[in-house]
Amino acid sequence: MIKSQIGIENFTKNFLRKCGKPFPVSTHEGVAVKAEINYGRLIAKCPFCTGAELIDRNDKRFFCLSCFNKSVNGNWIRVEFPDNLTEIEAVLEQRTETNQNWQHGEEVMFLKSENTKNLGVV
């Protein structure tokens, strides 16, 4: 199964407490990031720095633990997930973890054709 950060609110809260940083109280609506799958992990890349974080399919918010979302006053931003995430995951799960990669905009048909070409999976 594609790995996801479950309980991202508690994880973020604990991390920020250890750093002595305030916990974000609201979500900045003007910026969103897109979910992607990287080496079998559900992640989003920070739009403000070079950081990336595991994301939670059940809590569609992003908070960067590198720059602390300073560009949006330390608030959460939204994560956009594809409608067909389950289908994408099913195709990727036929691969080894290091080859479980998907970027926003890549079609399931493309992923399937890669599986056929590289794994012989039809």
Query: How many other CB atoms are found less than 10 A from the CB of residue 65?
Result: 16
Query: Which range binds Zn ion by CB under 5 A, 5-13, 45-53, 89-97, 101-109?
Result: 45-53
Residue among 8, 35, 37, 46 that touches Zn ion (CB under 5 A): 46
Asked if 80 contacts 31 with a C-beta cutoff of 8 angstroms, the reply is no
Binding of Zn ion by 52 (CB under 5 A):
no
Q: Pick between residue 76 and residue 111 the one whose CB is nearest to Zn ion.
A: 76
Residues 58-77 that bind Zn ion (CB under 5 A): 64, 66-67
Q: Pick between residue 37 and residue 77 the one whose CB is nearest to Zn ion.
A: 77
Binding of Zn ion by 21 (CB under 5 A):
no
Nearest 10 degrees: CA dihedral of 63, 64, 68, 72?
-60
Asked if 68 contacts 1 with a C-beta cutoff of 8 angstroms, the reply is no
Pick from 10, 25, 12: which is nearest to 75 by CA?
Answer: 25
> What residues line the site for Zn ion (CB under 5 A)?
46, 48-49, 51, 64, 66-67
